[in-house]
Amino acid sequence: MPRRGQIGMAKQGAKYTPPDPTQIELKPEALDFWARTLETDPAKIRKAVQKVGPGLEQVKLELGLGGAG
């Protein structure tokens, strides 16, 4: 029964898939997804989205995580 461990992993991270990978939603599951993806605190992502909008590149720039170029 090696599936048991896999099921537990799926429940932690694989449930949420962004409908548009260039936009960050403010849903808790979206913030968790982007926090893992960007290796940043969800609260910082929420603040950045509220400041610059939901565009991924703008949020990354606001967080100092690089971006285009």
Residues 20-34: tens digit of each pLDDT: 999 999 999 999 999
Model pTM score:
0.74
Examine residue 54 and state whether it is found in any structural domain, yes or no.
yes
Say which residue the tokens 């960007």 belong to: 38
| 56: pLDDT strictly greater than 80 | yes
| 4: pLDDT strictly greater than 60 | no
Examine residue 22 and state whether it is found in any structural domain, yes or no.
yes
The count of domains in the chain is 1
Examine residue 27 and state whether it is found in any structural domain, yes or no.
yes
| 57: pLDDT strictly greater than 50 | yes
Give the residue numbers spanning the domain of 32. 3-62
CB 13 within 8 A of CB 36: yes
Amino acid in the structure at residue 13: G
Examine residue 69 and state whether it is found in any structural domain, yes or no.
no
Q: CA–CA distance from 15 to each of 26, 29, 30, 33, 69 (Å)? A: 16, 8, 10, 9, 31
Spell out the long-range contacts of 14-21 with Cβ–Cβ below 8 A and sequence spacing 24 or more. 21/56
Q: Give 14's pLDDT tier (boundaries 50, 70, 90).
A: low
